[in-house]
Structure 1
Amino acid sequence: MINVLIVDDEPFIRQGLLLLMDWNAMGFQICGEASNGVQALECIRAVKPDLVISDIKMPEMDGMQLAKIIYEQYGGEMKMVLLSGFYEFEYAKQAIKYQVNDYILKPIVKDELQQVLEAFRDFFRERTEEKRHQEKQEQIVLAQHVQSILLGTADEDTVDHVQSLYGTATRYRCLMIETESEQEKQQTEGCLHVEAALNQKYAGYVLKSFTGEKNRVLHIVTDLLLKQEAVSLEQYVTRLYTELSRIQSAAIAIYAGREVNRLEELHESYYSCGKIKSLRFFSAYGPIYYFEHMDTGVFNNQPAGREKQLFDGLIRAIEEHRTEDIRGHAQAVFQFFLEERIEPGIVGIHLHYLAYTLLGLVNRDDSDLSLDGEWMQSTFLQENYAMLSMEENIDNLCEFSYKCAEKLKERQKWNAMGVLARVEAYIHEHYMDNISLKLLGEQFYMNSAYLGQIFKKHYGVSFSDYLNQIRIEEATRLLRRTDYRVYEIAVMVGYRDSDYFINRFEKIRGETPAQYRKRAQAMHTAD
């Protein structure tokens, strides 16, 4: 709609103009009325109309004086149509001088006014389109200039041109704003909303990513801009984060680069944004990251060697279903990465190793890992570790570990009976060897502590007591049917210490091996 201000000292003339035309149907709306030039200027400052239709003869300030002020203060941006009860050549000359669009004699004829309005409407639309096109071209040129500054390739003329638009700013900073979502479409659309919102308020300070990322917008912040907004950098960025999060559904991350004192140094701030992003992995902050808050020391690209020990601790907690200990182990893993300054790429390799070690642990009895595809879509497996903060990574690892522990417990429960049958057969076949729960756990891919628990629950005795019973039972058979010496039988049934064998035998049978053999032989003779 084209905004129109009507100025006339006669109320019935103003009312008549309102009723004479179907303003809305023609694309106009009356935004205000005034009875003289002084009131008109107050309205102009308040509503900034596109067209002023004014009488010439008015008290306090007439229409020609108003036309002069509008011309001097607004140039060609605001147009004017003058109304008069009689034609005077001197008025016409002045009207031309002040670029008045048209001059209409009273009484106003509807067709004449309609013709004037239609001509202005066509002119206004054409001018608006030209202005839009010109602004777009200027924005493209400015974006190219700012891009060359951010890349550090701008010449002196380019810097001067951008500096003229940025005014008297003396401090500059690049913000890198990214939308984040598992759905690429949502991420891209979110970025377009962010760009549009920023351009609406800060045109000339906003730039699309020029390195191919569809989820990134760059925003230049100066000390002058912050002064105009009357906020600190932190307040500005926090407010920006809140506003941008509200207008679209993707998550937002903001990286505030290093502050520089000269426009031609802005590339240093831009490149520091990328460095912040690579350091995000080690940050406890987020989703807003400031260069000043980050430790930018040199990374260690070599594995430190202690990570396997930390991984093993986490794996044992999962195997033994000690869920209360999982977070402590996960925190220890990432604290190690932080203290050793392990480069994020190397960290990613370690975490992939850990993830698929855990998957192997959970699925080692399954040849088809895809059977539980939904479960495998865990955030820990899907996310880019380097793009998350340390706390986010710890949370994701804990969530994945809890799932692994639960899955392992469930699988162990269903497999327990089958495993116990194989364990029992193995014990009967290898009782004479040096077997233990640890060995059986490795043999049958089961945590030894858990195996001991289900063994005792099923058989009513501990593994060691069960093994001793099997060995002593075999020893009684050998004592009855062979002439082997006691110490020889001890070795044959798995005891390396004959005294310990005798002690175990007496505890189970209530007599020593010699006493048992003697009694057995006596019973055989009596038969």
Structure 2
Amino acid sequence: MLKVLLVDDEPYVFEGLRIMVDWEKYGFSICGEASNGEDALEIIRTCNPHLVVTDIKMPVMDGIQLIKTVYEDSNIRAKFIVISGYDEFEYAKNAMKYGVNSYILKPLDEDELNQAIEKVSRQILEERKDEESRNRQLSFVAESAINSILKGEATESDIKRANFILELDENEEIKMLLLEIDNFDKWMSEFDEVQLKEIREKIKKIINSSMNNKFDLKVFEDDLNRFCILVSKSMDIYDTICGYAKNLKEMIEEKLDCSASIAISEPVAGIKSLAELYKQVDLAISYKFFKNIGSIIFYKNIKNMSMNHNLLEIDIDGLKDCIRENDTEGIKRKIKNLFHDFSKDLTAPELIKIYIENLELEFIRYVQEMKGNVQEFTNKLMDFNKKIEKSTIEELKKEATDLCMFLGQYIESITTSNSKDIIAEMKQYIKKNYNKDINLKIIGKHLYVNPVYIGRKFKQVTGMQFNEYLHQVRIEEAKKLLRRTNMKISDVARSVGYSSTEYFTSKFKSFTNFSPSEFKNDFLVSLHKY
């Protein structure tokens, strides 16, 4: 909607202008009224209307003075329609000298007034189209030149062209701001390409508005969710760049209901150093990982820091044990300590995500060994992986905690459902193979289950260690052979799985309180009694 200001020292004129003109029909809304040129000038400087309808003869500052002042101020866009009770050539001549669109005499003719307003409306809209077209062309040329400089491919003519379009002196001091929309991936999943383009246009308009729409060519898109802003020494916001960044961030967050982070470079001399500025803000914005989203990060505060890309010696085995045992407090404690080390050592986010991915892979294998539903398990893990793509270290810690809690609960659920079946299969295997050299590793391989897991589960279900149970089965079978056959003790030992007669004798006595020969003799004596 175009804005119009009405200026006259006679109140009835305002009423007439409201009644005689259907302002909305011509795309206008009345933004204010003033009874003298001085008040009108103040409103013009505040509202920057597209059209001013003004009288000539007014107190304090007359219409000609008002028009002249506005004409000489390049920051004001207003066009003028003069309404006057003075049919004098000199007034009209002075008005037209300053670009007045129409000079209408009082009493006002409704048709003449409407025709003048319609003409101004068309002119403004045509100029707006021309300006938008020109700005698009300049923006394309500016971005092409900037991209050439960023890639290190710029020629001297590219640099001169960029300086000219961006209105920069050759060695003028400049800084760069990089604005990044946090969690943009959420918008990517919710909106289509057209809607995302509209959102990016809104962001650019907010940025341009924050600079009073005077420096729109100094704003360029770096990525779907990133916008670079060049701030030169001649701009008012240069020396208050921190306050400007804070205000811009608040405007973006308020109008788009999102979070934004901003990185600010150090100054360099001349646009030829643009690539250096970009490296600074690109590095600085990556450190928001160690801060809260919505941060303002100065390159000068992080330039002496260095992210750690080396693998750390971390207690990942302890965390795995807590997960297998579904120890929630242990999981929280281990994750807290783990991320404290990550933060202290400035561990690179991609490295932290590798640790998490390796943990997931290990538990995928673990679920497979436990005969769980691997497809269902991996589908659930995908939901977690989406959440950790773009996070701060605090968000990642929370997601990692949730992930490990989920792993613990999932492992416990399938453990509960299949542990009895697995123990039954183990007992069956032992019963058939007790006379062979068997152990948990061999049984685990046979059942496709982790040997540590089945060893722990066997103890929980049966109340005894696997080896103790194996000895018990072997001794029971040995007792049968001793009762029913005349086999030598050494042959009995080998028949039930012992290669050493001495070791067999020791184990037999620990279970029965008799040596094998004593047991056999005692059985024979008992038999003769009957």
| TM-score scaled by length of structure 1 | 0.78
Matched, 1:472 2:485: no
Taking a change above 3 Å as real, the CA distance of residues 112 and 164 of structure 1, as seen in their structure-2 partners, is closer
- Counterparts of 1:51 and 1:502, CA distance in 2: 112
SS in structure 2 of the partner of residue 204 of structure 1: helix
Given that residues 369 and 450 in structure 2 are in contact (C-alpha distance below 8 angstroms), is that contact kept between their aligned partners in structure 1? no
Structure 2 unmatched ranges of 5 or more: none
- Counterparts of 1:427 and 1:37, CA distance in 2: 105
The two structures, once aligned, show a CA RMSD in angstroms of 4.3
Taking a change above 3 Å as real, the CA distance of residues 205 and 311 of structure 1, as seen in their structure-2 partners, is same
- Counterparts of 1:240 and 1:38, CA distance in 2: 32
Q: Which residue of 1 aligns with 2:226?
A: 216
Q: Which residue of 1 aligns with 2:140?
A: 140
CA drift at 1:516: 1.9
Q: Which residue of 2 aligns with 1:41?
A: 41
Taking a change above 3 Å as real, the CA distance of residues 117 and 176 of structure 1, as seen in their structure-2 partners, is closer
Taking a change above 3 Å as real, the CA distance of residues 10 and 412 of structure 1, as seen in their structure-2 partners, is closer
CA drift at 1:207: 0.7
Q: Which residue of 1 aligns with 2:130?
A: 130
CA drift at 1:519: 1.6
Q: Superposed, which structure 2 residues align to 1:61-140 within 5 Å?
A: 61-73=61-73, 77-140=77-140
Q: Which residue of 1 aligns with 2:447?
A: 444
- Counterparts of 2:149 and 2:268, CA distance in 1: 13
Matched, 1:206 2:215: no
Q: Which residue of 1 aligns with 2:511?
A: 508
Residues 39-68 of structure 1, C-alpha deviation per residue, up to 9 Å, x if partnerless?
443444444443333433444444344444
Matching residue within 284, 287, 290 for 2:290: 284
Matching residue within 270, 273, 279 for 1:265: 273
Residues 384-427 of structure 1, C-alpha deviation per residue, up to 9 Å, x if partnerless?
76x54555445444433332332222222222222112211222
Residues 148-202 of structure 1, C-alpha deviation per residue, up to 9 Å, x if partnerless?
3333425341353256358996341341525531563547625454334323334
- Counterparts of 2:39 and 2:260, CA distance in 1: 47
Taking a change above 3 Å as real, the CA distance of residues 11 and 227 of structure 1, as seen in their structure-2 partners, is closer
Residues 223-258 of structure 1, C-alpha deviation per residue, up to 9 Å, x if partnerless?
7668468463xx655554454344446765555556
Q: Which amino acid aligns with 1:220?
A: L
Q: Which residue of 1 aligns with 2:363?
A: 358
- Counterparts of 1:463 and 1:169, CA distance in 2: 79
Identity, % of aligned positions = 28
SS in structure 1 of the partner of residue 82 of structure 2: strand
Given that residues 431 and 471 in structure 1 are in contact (C-alpha distance below 8 angstroms), is that contact kept between their aligned partners in structure 2? yes
| TM-score scaled by length of structure 2 | 0.78
Taking a change above 3 Å as real, the CA distance of residues 338 and 515 of structure 1, as seen in their structure-2 partners, is same
Q: Which amino acid aligns with 1:184?
A: M
Given that residues 145 and 161 in structure 2 are in contact (C-alpha distance below 8 angstroms), is that contact kept between their aligned partners in structure 1? yes
Matching residue within 173, 184, 187 for 2:188: 184
- Counterparts of 2:452 and 2:493, CA distance in 1: 28
Given that residues 180 and 252 in structure 1 are in contact (C-alpha distance below 8 angstroms), is that contact kept between their aligned partners in structure 2? no
Aligned residues: 513
Taking a change above 3 Å as real, the CA distance of residues 430 and 240 of structure 1, as seen in their structure-2 partners, is farther
SS in structure 1 of the partner of residue 132 of structure 2: helix
Given that residues 174 and 266 in structure 1 are in contact (C-alpha distance below 8 angstroms), is that contact kept between their aligned partners in structure 2? no
Given that residues 478 and 493 in structure 2 are in contact (C-alpha distance below 8 angstroms), is that contact kept between their aligned partners in structure 1? yes
Greater mean deviation of Cα atoms: 247-256 or 469-478: 247-256
Given that residues 145 and 162 in structure 1 are in contact (C-alpha distance below 8 angstroms), is that contact kept between their aligned partners in structure 2? no
Taking a change above 3 Å as real, the CA distance of residues 6 and 168 of structure 1, as seen in their structure-2 partners, is farther
- Counterparts of 2:442 and 2:309, CA distance in 1: 41
Given that residues 191 and 216 in structure 1 are in contact (C-alpha distance below 8 angstroms), is that contact kept between their aligned partners in structure 2? no
- Counterparts of 1:359 and 1:45, CA distance in 2: 67
Matching residue within 409, 426, 432 for 1:423: 426
- Counterparts of 1:249 and 1:405, CA distance in 2: 36
- Counterparts of 2:39 and 2:254, CA distance in 1: 40
Q: Which residue of 2 aligns with 1:318?
A: 323
- Counterparts of 2:247 and 2:7, CA distance in 1: 42
Q: Which amino acid aligns with 1:218?
A: C
Taking a change above 3 Å as real, the CA distance of residues 50 and 519 of structure 1, as seen in their structure-2 partners, is closer
Residues 11-55 of structure 1, C-alpha deviation per residue, up to 9 Å, x if partnerless?
444444444444444444444444444444344444444333343
- Counterparts of 2:32 and 2:347, CA distance in 1: 67
Taking a change above 3 Å as real, the CA distance of residues 469 and 313 of structure 1, as seen in their structure-2 partners, is same
Q: Which residue of 2 aligns with 1:409?
A: 412
Matched, 1:375 2:377: no
SS in structure 1 of the partner of residue 176 of structure 2: strand
- Counterparts of 1:498 and 1:417, CA distance in 2: 34
SS in structure 1 of the partner of residue 108 of structure 2: coil
